[in-house]
Structure 1
Amino acid sequence: MSHLTRRGVLGGLSGAAILYGAGARAQTAKLPANPVTLNIIDVAGNLQLTQVAIERFARENPKLVSRLTFSRAPSPELPGKLKAQQDANKVDIDLVLTGPGAMSDGIQQGLWVDVWKSHAASLPKPEDTYHEQALMMQRNFGQDQGVAVVYSPSGPLFEYMPDKVKSVPKTAADLLAWVKANPKRFTYARPVNSGPGWTFLMGMPYILGDKDPKDPMNGWDKTWSYLKELGTGIDYYPAGTGATMKELGEGTRDMIVTTCGWDINPRALGIVPKEANVFALDGTRWIPDTQFMCIPKGVPDEKIAVLLSLMSFMLKPEQQAVTYDKGYFYPGPAVKGVTLAMAPEESRAVLQEYGRPSYDELITKLPTETPLTPERLVAAFRRWDQEIGSAVK
């Protein structure tokens, strides 16, 4: 899911050498003689979950990190920008925090260092570290190139205002009928730049009983037809999820697509009224979301050594507990054994007030599916842009 931050919408290590594989020739990436600046770009809203821990790493390792710089960008813009830097041999981005969109493009274009293959000895063993669902995402989606740092069962879910939606849809047919009967009162964000958008896109083939939910080009006949028909009641698709939340909060929408985190966090921040409710359609399966840390090719070896230790630090239970945050990516932790009791007091208080006990039941009850492979996800995004998004201006 690559989505913009809610905040953006509104206002030590041993001195041992670390092996680094570059193409067919392995080199030794030595720790820097002097501390380095790390330039980190976030295209997934991930800093809301991880910035505290990243800054803690820098404070605890002054001999490795002299300075941190953080920047943010929309997910679709990142791959082209990074490719241009690599072609010019002037890479100034050291670490990318990304969801599925930019990471999938990066895998297809060969933008990332294959850290799990070239640097396995410098990272914890995935099977000893991740819980079952995050390990599934790491193996099937992160592959060798992304290091999973947070996890959510995600969606697709639907959020609505109870005073406006008197008859809550139960099936896909019900949803379509409601949208057509209430034009311009429902929308969802462009999937390539939205966690709820991409879980909705990948979840509908299961809900509709399509021929092959894993093949968006040849197996989604029902889904593409349904999305086109749904679009007749939609006036526009916002560029990011934040806009849909803002419109729901302002009353210009009565129903939108959401996920666990996008339901909890905007209500906690006051963007969406607390009384907003959620539902899942019959046949729903979780399409989980995971955000990853990726190192672009072209980053100097001495920085790679520092980044590998940062990645390992971020997978420690103490740092993972911080990712409960204010429900932003509920639950958040990707590693085993991290409970809400370990989270900061503020996180526990927010989830006590704005969390939904029904989520724990749904997480256990609903099946979980592996998202599309990166190349098929990119194809699905492209087809949605061409056939669905372009039809509504």
Structure 2
Amino acid sequence: MRANRRTVMLVSGTLVLGLLTACGAPSGPGQSQGPAAANGVVPDSPSQPVTLNVLDVAGNLQLTQGMIDEFVQQNPNVISKVTYSKAGAPELVGKIKAQQGAGRVDIGLVLTGVDGLAAGVEQGLWEQLLPTFSDRLSNMNNYQDAAAKMQDLAGDYGVTVTYYPSGPLIEYLPGKVADPPRTAEELLAYAKAHPGKVEYARPANSGPGRTFLMGLPYILGDTGPKDPVSGWAKTWEYLTELNKYITTYPSGTTQTMKDLANGTADIILTTTGWDINPRVLGTVPEDAKTGTLEGFHWVTDAHYAVVPKGASADQQAAVLKLVQFMLTKEQQAKAYDDGYFYPGPAVKDVDISMAPQKSQDAIKKFGRAEYDALIADNPKETPLDAKAVVTAFDKWDREIGGAKVQK
């Protein structure tokens, strides 16, 4: 079920580093094709068609596998075959380091969120793609402004392939909540009047939980929204007070969706994708509604393509051609999917009318007419950097809700 795949732990690189480096997962079958690229010398095309092994630790294949498969179909002289594997973010660094240590890097492409990207950068695991190959990745020039800012977070090591504004949003069933909160103060008052009925998942394990944590400083007018140590006085005070009326914090987002559906929770924190996709899947009732809180800013998110060091020159040549193809408007339209990362495209001028009919039907039925205006009319902020988000997660675990997290 797609919604369940989103419970992959999305935490920034430094936080998971100890866990990741401890996971020495064995390498997969097969061997690198062709010699490793030396001094950045990568041919324009592979010397022979490659078998490309793709590892997804972000649920990104839901959005991009169709793009990859079409490239392979159209370019058998570049990629003869693709194998797909999936893993949790905590396994990523251990898996890549094991292959690099053995001198057999079989994974040619990793699809990751900001968590795995940052962890790999800190460990020196990724090839530096930019600016060396900027001419081969010219479609990056077509990014939406907010996606371009997410690309800035990747530095020179990753390429943004999908993007969404994320949240934070509140979600509720209108039959249970006739007058939903419109401010942070009203949300707190609702929680106080209905103990246990406002819910969000542990931020270190949940995209919506993390987005709520990073979005509150804007909503509350804190002095330093990017500084959880010195700039979040109002945020930590608010979360401390809200914690008094929260019974438990699910360890992943999917449980919050189930709790909303079964009546355990009246109001949960969500994002555009977590609103649309669970309703497509039937996890959440179709009539669920969403809203924003006064002072709302979007906290954006993205998925990235990265190449492990040690990938052969032929693999790298193939990946560069593939990613350039994935960033065409025609292929980006597939990122609408079933609303999983809504909207999904990272490049400009990709309308829903360009998407596959299945995506058009899902968005027509389960999308929100108000989202277009919300996306256009509200500020979009990049997430905290790796160091800051680690600090925020640690403080939340120690001082806010760690003792109440469901095991």
TM-score range, shorter chain: 0.7 to 0.9
Moved more, 295-304 or 282-291: 295-304
1:329-366, Cα deviation, whole Å (9 max, x unpaired): 11111112211111112211221111111111211221
Moved more, 186-195 or 341-350: 186-195
Q: Secondary structure at the match of 2:324?
A: helix
Contact 2:37 2:311 in 1 (8 A): no
Q: Which residue of 1 aligns with 2:391?
A: 379
Q: Which residue of 2 aligns with 1:241?
A: 253
Q: Which residue of 1 aligns with 2:126?
A: 112
Q: Does 2:149 correspond to 1:136?
A: yes
Deviation at 1:276, TM superposition (A): 0.5
Deviation at 1:391, TM superposition (A): 2.5
Q: Does 2:249 correspond to 1:252?
A: no
Q: Secondary structure at the match of 1:37?
A: strand
Q: Which residue of 1 aligns with 2:188?
A: 176
Contact 1:21 1:118 in 2 (8 A): no
Superposition CA RMSD, Å: 2.4
Q: Secondary structure at the match of 1:62?
A: coil
Moved more, 276-285 or 143-152: 143-152
In structure 1, which of residues 273, 280, 301 is the aligned counterpart of residue 292 of structure 2?
280
Amino acid of the structure 2 residue aligned with 1:37: T
Q: 1:105 to 1:284 in 2, by over 3 A?
A: same
Deviation at 1:318, TM superposition (A): 1.0
Deviation at 1:214, TM superposition (A): 1.0
CA distance in 2, matches of 1:171, 1:290: 27
In structure 1, which of residues 369, 372, 381 is the aligned counterpart of residue 381 of structure 2?
369
CA distance in 2, matches of 1:335, 1:116: 18
Deviation at 1:49, TM superposition (A): 0.8
Q: 1:317 to 1:387 in 2, by over 3 A?
A: same
Q: 1:337 to 1:258 in 2, by over 3 A?
A: same
Alignment of 1:146-295 (within 5 A): 146-295=158-307
Amino acid of the structure 2 residue aligned with 1:228: T
Deviation at 1:304, TM superposition (A): 1.0
Q: Which residue of 2 aligns with 1:13?
A: none
1:175-198, Cα deviation, whole Å (9 max, x unpaired): 122223323323222333432122
Q: Which residue of 2 aligns with 1:349?
A: 361
Amino acid of the structure 2 residue aligned with 1:381: F
- What stretches of structure 2 of length at least 5 have no aligned partner? 8-35
CA distance in 1, matches of 2:370, 2:48: 51
Contact 2:297 2:379 in 1 (8 A): yes
Amino acid of the structure 2 residue aligned with 1:195: G
Q: 1:69 to 1:318 in 2, by over 3 A?
A: same
Deviation at 1:30, TM superposition (A): 6.5
Contact 1:104 1:375 in 2 (8 A): no
Contact 2:128 2:157 in 1 (8 A): yes
Alignment of 1:26-41 (within 5 A): 26-29=40-43, 31-41=45-55
Q: Which residue of 1 aligns with 2:319?
A: 307
1:283-311, Cα deviation, whole Å (9 max, x unpaired): 11011111111112222222111111111
Deviation at 1:118, TM superposition (A): 2.8
Q: Secondary structure at the match of 1:68?
A: strand
1:101-135, Cα deviation, whole Å (9 max, x unpaired): 222222333322221223222211533x2122211
CA distance in 1, matches of 2:208, 2:40: 40
How many residue pairs match? The answer is: 377
CA distance in 2, matches of 1:288, 1:37: 34
Q: Which residue of 1 aligns with 2:86?
A: 72
Q: Which residue of 2 aligns with 1:52?
A: 66
CA distance in 1, matches of 2:169, 2:148: 23
Alignment of 1:74-113 (within 5 A): 74-113=88-127
Q: Secondary structure at the match of 2:244?
A: helix
CA distance in 1, matches of 2:312, 2:400: 42
CA distance in 1, matches of 2:317, 2:214: 36
CA distance in 2, matches of 1:255, 1:73: 31
Contact 1:101 1:378 in 2 (8 A): no
Amino acid of the structure 1 residue aligned with 2:148: L
Contact 1:104 1:377 in 2 (8 A): no
Moved more, 319-328 or 379-388: 379-388
Amino acid of the structure 1 residue aligned with 2:3: R
Q: 1:243 to 1:96 in 2, by over 3 A?
A: farther
Deviation at 1:246, TM superposition (A): 2.4
CA distance in 2, matches of 1:59, 1:185: 50
Q: 1:292 to 1:389 in 2, by over 3 A?
A: farther
Compute the TM-score of the two structures, normalised by the length of structure 2. Answer: 0.85
Contact 1:76 1:193 in 2 (8 A): no
CA distance in 2, matches of 1:269, 1:349: 13
Q: Secondary structure at the match of 2:84?
A: strand
Amino acid of the structure 1 residue aligned with 2:74: E
